[in-house]
Amino acid sequence: MQAKSFKGKVALELRAAVARAAKAFGTLDIFVSNAGILTRGTIDTYTLEDFDRMVAINVRAAFVGIQAAAQEMNDGGRIVIIGSNTAIRTAFPGASVYSMTKAALVGLVRGAAIDLAPRAITVNNVQPGPTATDMTSALAELVKPLIPLKRMGDVSEVASLVSYLASEEAGFITGASLTIDGGYVA
């Protein structure tokens, strides 16, 4: 699929999904964006096609999601973006473009938080580090020694942070990027 049509298709599908959710539930109070891909490659060999695809999914989709959610959302709503601790530390070769996309989310969240503050909509970024999933299980023994807590994170720990940010108790937290990585970037 051509990059231009791919980006347009993703935007249309995401806007439609947000509109369907708002219609189905009658209101939109919380939006969580958890889309992302990693296509590895060193900067000297990285293709523009892979670059455009990674930016489209990791950054553009987050922007479109925030925009669509804000248009459907009640005042006082919560928006949470799932980024990565690689926004702070690129720990391995071949991840420079991925890290760039996750760092872009930090700036996007800060700006969106300011833009939506008059409506009391909070916008925050959760930056998980090494987390135990089916995809990462093969890397666990390589990564655990690099984590001060000597273990991978659990998806329930990341979900708990997202749940807190979506709660009323987190109403004064906005524009924040919160890292949950067992001290990996400490």
Within 10 Å of residue 179's Cβ, how many Cβ atoms?
Answer: 21
Query: Whole-angstrom Cα distance, residue 162 to residue 107?
Result: 19
Annotated catalytic residue within 46, 98, 164, 184: 98
Chain centroid to Cα 66, Å, comes to 11
Q: Catalytic residue at 184?
A: no
Q: Are 77 and 66 in contact (CB under 8 A)?
A: no
Asked if residue 83 lies in contact with residue 66, where contact means CB atoms within 8 angstroms, the answer is no
Among candidates 103, 106, 86, which has minimal Cα distance to 94?
86
Give Cβ neighbours of residue 77 (< 8 Å, ≥ 6 apart). Answer: 28, 29, 30, 31, 69, 70, 119, 121, 122
Task: Point out the residues that are catalytic.
Answer: 98
